[in-house]
């Protein structure tokens, strides 16, 4: 079993000395740290306790280096709250403790260091001091052990207690994709770039293709180390060093995330639930500038409090939207800390609810609050979470990749959540998109209404062009959603589609008696004319004489004939009956068969068709388009 233990406590309370006494490793690696005798940056050490492997993250206690402490707190399973027996609880003890509480670290113990410097009476006083600090918290019933790193007293007992409480820590779930928030980057001669961090979810294997976010730089895993040994794979909960190919270490900074390619996305806006500390000097207000510590990164942000007052008072919880000045990588339920911009003190902490949120307007607050309440309620119901994300996406829907970016779930976990929704008909699969049932039903209703309105405006037309329908309702929506909406309406028997047109199933092109008369006259004109047809304008003029129908109305009646296929368009002026065109094609093919000559020129065509050049040229060009003939110089080949 692997666990990560993080130290916490005031400066000079003996955290680094304690880690050395337990592991034999001096976690202060920087020359400046050794020279000044204080921890400036996070340090690491390993300890084997039978079947348990403990990775220690030693953090600085000085108030100036709390941001480094927070980088180290990312991904720890258990906190060792260190209090010096000769000083008791100090300011940074309190701040570190509050940070651990806000990060919702579930397990820990209290270690009273420097036992050799105090008598029993003072030690009892410090125990009471520490107990009072952690009262009504996750450390309320935690073991409290007094030790001396100098003499070794209590160290053996501490190891036993560590082993005992570590065995009760639940193993990490394997639902999320691999994420390693980077806390160090350096170069090793002969190997290249190396990054380290706590693998907080998933698995990394040697030779994996990975991605460094937010830069989106693609890299390859050349080698892995955990517990100081080379391994083929690293698992969640392990301190991991990764040798990367395809990138220089100078391109990598603390705060970046090593993860699976093309899944997670950087964000500069996320919605969250936060708790403001009871002891905070000020409430948290909209537009306030804060420092967000999430994973191993510190980012400046503006707060948008999602309530009518625009304020969260001390000791209260509420929803906020954080608008960051730089991109970060996060997923729902990840914990974070808020510190004031200046002075840099911890004011609040919380968890991410929607990692890829959009900016809200003040009038949206009520709906946003309902949505975030729903997400919290569905925290343990993945199918519901997917449904809520899709309802927020409205008619546009989301792809599988969109949903994976929002959740961070592995493929099979997300597939199962989607399948549950599809089975319950809570969401609709629109090819590569998914749309929630309510917005999809709204789309169907709007689409049918638009088609019916078109029929009222243009009763004699075949229907509305699909391109026109898409432009009116689906101009900002994916093509897949448009096609699926039509498909569902068609299956429901609400519409029918013919070529490029869509019409309501209830629509019929019934003609009035006068319109029928016009239709019959037009048919007669074209049948009588055979291949020497009048222009369309002349034909329309002939039929509208003595009627109340306007020319445009007569055109619509003619369009019905055209839509039925009884009349065929050759040019904008010339139209012919279907029978005449079919007979002419037969004549051309018979001529080619009888003469054993597939070539035909204009004079020959005029003889075959019995028409003048006025009709011959448009008809031949029509046959070219329909691939009855093919142009070859001055002649055509009958195909």
pLDDT one-digit tens code per residue, 167-206 = 888 887 889 999 999 988 988 888 889 998 889 899 999 9
Residues 484 and 387 in one domain: yes
* pLDDT attached to residue 40: 40
Mean pLDDT, residues 294-319 taken together: 94
Chain CA centroid to CA 355, Å: 8
* 505 and 552 fall within a common domain: no
In sequence order, the β-bridge partners of residue 635 are 632
Q: Average pLDDT in the 435-459 region?
A: 90
Q: From CA 604, how far away is CA 614, in angstroms rounded?
A: 14
Per-residue model confidence (pLDDT) at position 349 = 93
Give a yes or no: residue 122 inside a domain. yes
pLDDT at 594: 80
Q: How far is CA 520 from CA 191, 480, 545, 564, 576, in A?
A: 87, 42, 14, 14, 15
Does one domain contain both 81 and 210?
no
- pLDDT tens track for 331-374: 999 999 999 998 888 999 999 999 999 998 888 899 999 999 99
What does the pLDDT read at residue 68? 61
Kindly indicate the confidence band of residue 160, based on its pLDDT and cuts at 50, 70 and 90.
very high
Q: Which of 133-137, 538-542, 580-584 has the lowest mean pLDDT?
A: 538-542
Say if CB 56 and CB 37 are below 8 A apart.
Answer: no
Same domain, 193 and 135: no
Asked if residue 115 has pLDDT above 90, the reply is: yes
Q: For 233-281, what is each residue's pLDDT tens digit?
A: 999 888 899 999 999 989 999 899 999 999 999 999 999 999 999 989 8
User: Which residues are registered as beta bridge partners of 110?
Assistant: 81, 144
Distance of CA 110 to the CA centre of its chain: 40
Most confident of 10-19, 69-78, 99-108, 296-305: 296-305
| 3-state secondary structure (DSSP) of residue 360 | coil
Tens of pLDDT, residues 20-66: 888 887 665 544 434 444 344 567 788 888 888 888 887 764 445 45
- Out of 141, 166, 191, a domain closes at 166
The whole-number pLDDT of residue 82 equals 94
Residues 95 and 129 in one domain: yes
What percentage of residues in the chain have a pLDDT greater than 70? Answer: 93
Decide which of 333, 349, 368 is a domain's last residue.
Answer: 368
What ranges in 458-577 are assigned the alpha helix state H? 466-473, 479-491, 513-529, 536-544, 551-564
- Residue ending a domain, among 166, 193, 210, is 166
DSSP string, 115-154: GGGS-HHHHHHHHHHHHHHTTTSTTTT--EEE--TTT-TT
Residue 563 covered by a domain? yes
173 domain residue, yes or no: no
Rounded to whole angstroms, the Cα distance separating 464 from 458 reads 9
Residue-range definition of the domain harbouring residue 422: 378-510
The gap from C-alpha 573 to its chain's centroid, in whole angstroms, comes to 54
Both 272 and 296 in a single domain? yes
**Domain at 556, CATH number:** 1.10.10.10
Are 121 and 243 contained in the same domain? no
Instruction: Tell me what pLDDT residue 62 has.
Output: 44
Average pLDDT, the chain: 88
Q: Give the count of beta carbons closer than 10 Å to the beta carbon of residue 538.
A: 11
Alpha-carbon distance of 71 to 324, in angstroms, equals: 18
Any domain includes 120: yes
519 with 506, same domain: the answer is: no
**Is pLDDT above 70 for 548?**
no
Give domain status of residue 373, yes or no: no
Q: What is the mean pLDDT of residues 521-550?
A: 82
Q: Domain check: are 17 and 155 in the same one?
A: yes
Establish if 579 belongs to a structural domain.
Answer: yes
Q: How far apart are CA 487 and CA 489, in angstroms?
A: 6
Domain shared by 423 and 567, yes or no: no
Question: How many structural domains comprise the chain?
Answer: 5
- What pLDDT score was predicted for residue 415? 96
d(CA 415, CA 404): 10
- Whether 189 and 228 have beta carbons less than 8 Å apart is answered as no
174 part of a folded domain: no
Please report the pLDDT score of residue 75 as a whole number.
75
- Percentage of the chain beyond pLDDT 90 is 53
What pLDDT does 61 receive? 47
Q: Give residue 67's pLDDT.
A: 58
Tell me which of 29 and 566 has the higher pLDDT. Answer: 566
| Inside any domain, residue 172 | no
What's the pLDDT score for residue 46? 81
339 with 294, same domain: the answer is yes
What is the C-alpha separation between 296 and 253, in angstroms, rounded? 10
CATH number of the domain enclosing 353: 2.40.30.10
In order, the DSSP letters of 25-66 are -----SHHHHHHTS--S-EEEEEEETTEEEEEEE---SGGGH
DSSP 178: P
pLDDT of 471 > 80? The answer is: yes
| Long-range CB contacts (within 8 A, 24+) of 485-492 | 485/430, 485/440, 485/443, 485/444, 485/447, 486/447, 488/428, 488/440, 488/444, 489/444, 489/447, 489/448, 492/444
Same-domain pairing of 505 and 516: no
What HEC string does 189-253 produce?
A: CCCEEEEEEECCECEEECCCEEEEECCCEEEEEEEEEECCEEECEEECCCEEEEEEECCCHHHCC
Q: Does the pLDDT of residue 429 top 80, yes or no?
A: yes
Q: In this predicted structure, what is the pLDDT of residue 553?
A: 73
Q: How do residues 57-113 score in pLDDT, each as one tens digit?
A: 877 644 454 556 566 566 788 899 999 999 999 988 998 898 888 888 889 999 999
């Amino acid at each position: 079993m692997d666990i990560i233990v993080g130290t916490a406590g005031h400066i000079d309370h003996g955290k680094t000395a304690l880690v050395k006494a337990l592991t034999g490793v001096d976690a202060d690696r920087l020359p400046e740290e050794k020279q000044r005798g204080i921890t400036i940056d996070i340090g690491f050490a390993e300890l084997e306790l039978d079947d348990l492997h403990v990775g220690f993250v030693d953090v600085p206690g000085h108030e100036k280096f709390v941001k480094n402490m927070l980088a180290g707190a990312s991904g720890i399973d258990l906190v060792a709250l260190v209090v010096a027996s000769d000083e008791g609880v100090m300011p940074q003890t309190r701040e570190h403790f509050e940070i651990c509480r806000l990060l919702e670290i579930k397990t820990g113990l209290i270690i009273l260091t420097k036992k050799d410097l105090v008598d029993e009476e003072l030690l009892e006083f410090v125990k009471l001091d520490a107990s009072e600090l952690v009262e009504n918290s996750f450390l309320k019933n935690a073991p409290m052990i007094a030790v001396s790193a100098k003499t070794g007293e209590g160290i053996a007992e501490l190891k036993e207690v560590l082993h005992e409480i570590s065995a009760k820590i639940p193993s990490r779930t394997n639902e999320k994709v691999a994420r390693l928030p980077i806390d160090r980057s350096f170069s090793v001669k002969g190997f290249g770039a190396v990054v380290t961090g706590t693998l907080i979810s998933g698995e990394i294997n040697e030779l994996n293709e990975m991605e460094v976010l937010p830069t989106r730089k693609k890299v390859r895993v050349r080698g892995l180390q955990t517990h100081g040994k080379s391994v083929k794979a690293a698992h969640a909960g392990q301190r991991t060093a990764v040798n990367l190919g395809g990138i220089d270490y100078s391109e990598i900074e603390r705060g970046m995330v090593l993860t699976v390619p093309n899944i997670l996305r950087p964000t500069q806006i996320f919605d969250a639930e936060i708790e403001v500390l009871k002891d905070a000097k000020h409430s948290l207000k909209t537009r306030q500038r804060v420092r967000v510590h999430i994973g191993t990164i510190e980012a400046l942000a503006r707060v948008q409090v999602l309530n009518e007052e625009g304020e969260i008072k001390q000791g209260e919880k509420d929803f906020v939207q954080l608008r960051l000045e730089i991109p970060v990588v996060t997923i729902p339920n990840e914990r974070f800390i808020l510190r004031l911009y200046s002075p840099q003190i911890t004011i609040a902490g919380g968890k991410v609810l929607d990692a890829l949120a959009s900016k809200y307007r003040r009038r949206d607050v009520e709906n946003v609050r309902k949505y975030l309440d729903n997400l919290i309620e569905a925290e343990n119901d993945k199918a519901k979470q997917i449904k809520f994300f899709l309802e927020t996406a409205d008619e546009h829907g989301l792809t599988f990749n969109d949903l994976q970016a929002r959740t961070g779930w592995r493929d099979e976990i997300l597939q199962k959540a989607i399948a549950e929704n599809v089975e319950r008909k809570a969401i609709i699969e629109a090819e590569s998109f998914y749309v929630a049932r309510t917005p999809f039903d709204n789309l169907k209703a709007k689409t049918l209404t638009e088609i019916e309105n078109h029929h009222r405006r243009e009763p004699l037309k075949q229907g509305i062009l699909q391109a026109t329908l898409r432009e009116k309702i689906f101009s900002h929506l994916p093509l897949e959603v448009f096609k699926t909406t039509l498909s569902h309406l068609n299956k429901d028997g609400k519409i029918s589609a013919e070529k490029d047109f869509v019409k309501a199933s209830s629509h019929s092109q019934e003609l009035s008696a006068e319109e029928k008369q016009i239709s019959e006259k037009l048919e007669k004109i074209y049948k009588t004319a055979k291949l020497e047809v009048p222009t369309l304008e002349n034909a329309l003029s002939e039929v509208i004489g003595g009627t109340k129908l306007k020319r445009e109305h007569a055109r619509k009646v003619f369009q019905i004939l055209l839509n039925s296929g009884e009349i065929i368009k050759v040019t904008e002026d010339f139209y012919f009956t279907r029978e005449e065109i079919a007979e002419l094609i037969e004549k051309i093919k018979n001529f080619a068969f009888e003469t054993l000559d597939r070539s035909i020129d204009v004079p020959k065509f005029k003889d075959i068709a019995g028409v003048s050049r006025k009709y011959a040229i448009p008809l031949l060009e029509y046959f070219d388009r329909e691939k009855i003939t093919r142009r070859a110089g001055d002649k055509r080949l009958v195909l």
